[in-house]
Amino acid sequence: MNKIPPFDVSQQYQQIGDRLNQAALAVLASGQYIGGQTVSQFESEFASYIGSKHGIACNSGTDALYLAMRALDVGEGDEVITSPFTFFASAETISMAGAKPVFVDIEAHSFNLNLDLLEAAITERTKAIMPVHLFGRPVDMPKLMAIAKKHNLYVIEDCAQATGAISNGEKVGNIGDVGCFSFYPTKNLGGCGDGGMMTTNNAEIDKKLRILREHGSPQRYYHEYIGMNSRLDSLQAALLQVKLPYLDKWNAQRREISDRYTQLLKEANIPNLVTPHHCPGSVWNQYTICIGDGKRNDIQAKLREQDIITMIYYPLPLHLQSVYKDLGYTKGTFPVTEDICDRVLSLPMFPELSEEQQDRVVITLKGLI
């Protein structure tokens, strides 16, 4: 039997390989490998897709988050509130900037920050909130922005898994002060290497982000800040430029696949299996079910024996990571997050996943539980 992978980024190459080849060869022949027109064109195309005035390309989603923090002067002595149930980079970049990550428990049905718990975590040191639109599912941004406004806090959106997701009619990344995106190959808009983007509607933040990503240097060899080298290669920009017009189609395919998964799983009526909550604004970077009764790891292993590869995002919450032991969180601090980490299982999900493959995933699951 054929293997069903969790994602298959080579399928996009099979669809539009000729155009990608052409774009790559044009960059190679141009001799303009860093910066230049291709990068600035892609920046404005991406910003306009999100609806933002400014798009600032950089080397990764991680750098985007870090640079956003630096541009907003988040640093030593500041606290930034984020989710304990996310990829490490969300909290890591808060620490890299010199600030302290403060975690708040999540909601079981959305896997995102529980906004009802947010205000209790705000102190006089809190400078920003970093909502993470996990698995492609938008945080309730109107509610979050109202809290941020009331307490005069910056909002840095971690949109790494949610390019194109919509919260209350607005694309994520265009709602907070800075939106941070990743073009890691398995993200909804994935490059052929590392890449990232920041979006903002504030001209001053835009200017500072551009300076910071290039050695804190507004003019070559004159330095105003300690910045870094975080540029997007022209080659990646050219490849992403080819892919961007397909993003809505690919996201629609992900939506269809997720609806079909939910329908099939409900019909299969598998005990102790919870399907993800319906969410029309999600772009389904992951389709994540929960399996109770301590059976999750066993089910994952058995699926693997049948050549169906699933993923556990994430097995250990950030507040219990060894690197954060000095923050003083203990087991039991965030009961919803800790429970979810023991139950989540992300099923194979990519735009080209076929109905036959989906059927096999569901039938196999039903046979196992």
Ligand X SMILES: *Cc1c(COP(=O)(O)O)cnc(C)c1O
Of 58 and 148, which CB lies nearer to ligand X in the complex structure? 58
**Residue 318 near ligand X by CB under 6 A:** no
The CA radius of gyration of the chain, in Å to the nearest whole number, is: 21
DSSP letter string, 64-115: HHHHHHHHTT--TT-EEEE-SSS-THHHHHHHHTT-EEEE-PBPTTT-SB-G
**Residue 86 near ligand X by CB under 6 A:** yes
Return the number of other C-beta atoms located less than 10 Å from residue 155's C-beta: 22
Total residues contacting ligand X by CB under 6 A comes to: 15
Taking the C-alpha atoms of residue 74 and residue 206, their distance in angstroms, rounded to an integer, is: 16
Of 62 and 358, which CB lies nearer to ligand X in the complex structure? 62
Among 12, 38, 82, 90, which residue sits at the site for ligand X (rule: CB under 6 A)? 90
**Residue 349 near ligand X by CB under 6 A:** no
156-164, 235-243, 266-274, 323-331 -> range binding ligand X (CB under 6 A):
156-164
Among 129, 132, 141, 153, which residue sits at the site for ligand X (rule: CB under 6 A)? 132
Of 174 and 358, which CB lies nearer to ligand X in the complex structure? 174
Among 110, 112, 161, 199, which residue sits at the site for ligand X (rule: CB under 6 A)? 161
Among 62, 174, 234, 300, which residue sits at the site for ligand X (rule: CB under 6 A)? 62
Taking the C-alpha atoms of residue 118 and residue 114, their distance in angstroms, rounded to an integer, is: 7
Of 96 and 369, which CB lies nearer to ligand X in the complex structure? 96
Edge-to-edge strands of the sheet including 344-347? Answer: 273-274, 287-291, 344-347
Edge-to-edge strands of the sheet including 79-82? Answer: 54-58, 196-200, 178-182, 154-158, 126-130, 79-82, 100-103
The answer to whether the beta carbons of residues 158 and 110 sit under 8 Å apart is no
**Residue 158 near ligand X by CB under 6 A:** yes
Return the number of other C-beta atoms located less than 10 Å from residue 267's C-beta: 10
Of 87 and 250, which CB lies nearer to ligand X in the complex structure? 87
The residue number whose beta carbon is nearest to ligand X equals 61
Taking the C-alpha atoms of residue 108 and residue 170, their distance in angstroms, rounded to an integer, is: 24
Binding to ligand X, residues 192-251 (CB under 6 A): 194, 196
The answer to whether the beta carbons of residues 53 and 201 sit under 8 Å apart is yes
Of 61 and 227, which CB lies nearer to ligand X in the complex structure? 61
123-131, 153-161, 304-312, 354-362 -> range binding ligand X (CB under 6 A):
153-161
Could you tell me the smallest distance in angstroms from the CB atom of residue 317 to ligand X? 13
Residues that bind ligand X (CB under 6 A): 60-62, 86-87, 89-90, 132, 158, 160-161, 182, 184, 194, 196
